[in-house]
Amino acid sequence: MNPILELHFAGLDPSGAPIFRIEPVGPDAGEPVTLDMPEFLSLSDLLERAAKDPHPNWHEVRQGILRNFYDAGRQLLRRQAQARLRRDPAP
């Protein structure tokens, strides 16, 4: 069973821009992924357009959209960690 993904306001960055996060909830949930303002606006636009189209299972549609953003964020974090390891290998 996949964890349920929730969208949360995470705070403000140093410039005062809002930061959001997609947080998995449930067993084997994993780590949250943060979204900057442009990413959040893209997500918000997709959710808004999807909400206008009547669908028998809105929760499933919303979870699918959040899952795509979450998976993309996890891949980015993984690539950044790999780049840091190549740049600063452990002794």
Statement: residue 79 has pLDDT above 70: yes
**CA 54 – CA 57 distance, rounded (Å):** 9
Q: Which of 17, 42, 33, 25 is nearest to 80 (CA)?
A: 33
Q: What is the pLDDT of residues 5-56, one digit of tens each?
A: 999 999 998 999 899 999 999 887 888 999 988 889 999 998 888 888 877 7
Residue 66 CB partners (closer than 8 Å, separation 6+): 5, 7, 22, 43
Q: How far is CA 36 from CA 12, 18, 22, 28, 79, in A?
A: 10, 7, 11, 25, 18
* pLDDT band (50, 70, 90) for residue 90: low
